Amino acid sequence: MYSRSYSHRKLGWLVKNSQGGGQLNSPERSGTRLIRALRTFQIRLIAKIEELKKGFPKKLLCLLVGFYCATAFATVIGQTGDWDVLSAGLAVMVVEGIGALMYKASSPLFERLRFFITLFNYWKVGLSLGLFLDAFKYEMDAILGFITEPFNFEIDLFPMFL
């Protein structure tokens, strides 16, 4: 009875593993689950990298232009101090509008404009990153207690020779 149930379990295991029309030792079924998972991850990662390489110089340019726009935006608006709330509201509207376009880009109406919407999204990322970094730029000296003019220091060497 033991050998009968053992052979039944072995037969069930063979049937389960040979499902899908493939051989038990076919190349796509060879290896452990970990090896197959790593191969799948590798294939997906290579596909993502190939997708990112498409139009990379334009995407990088839009990211840097967004960063530059954030610096210019913060500098010009920060001069007066009167328009801070309105400029922050405008920045939020622009960022959220581009984000909404990015999520709605899957509709057939926006399919032809998908690449330009993606470029605007990279600009938005540069703008957001630039504004985030600009927020820390002005107050970092006060927080860490650094000297405000790092190249304006005095060295008094004369008393050493007396």
pLDDT (tens digit per residue) in 65-123:
999 998 888 888 767 777 777 777 888 888 888 888 888 766 777 777 888 888 899 99
- Residue with the two structure tokens 């919407």: 117
User: Could you read off the pLDDT of 5-39 as tens digits, one per residue?
Assistant: 555 555 544 444 444 454 444 445 567 889 999 99
DSSP type of residue 148: S
Q: Which residue type does 99 have? A: G
- Higher-confidence residue of 98 and 64: namely 64
- Number of CB atoms found within 10 A of residue 5's CB: 9
Global pTM value:
0.58
101 Cα distance to chain centroid = 18
Query: Which tokens in the block code for residue 31?
Result: 């290896």
Query: Which tokens in the block code for residue 109?
Result: 């109406």
**In contact, 143 and 87? CB cutoff 8 Å:** no
| CA count, 13 A, side-chain hemisphere, 28 | 8
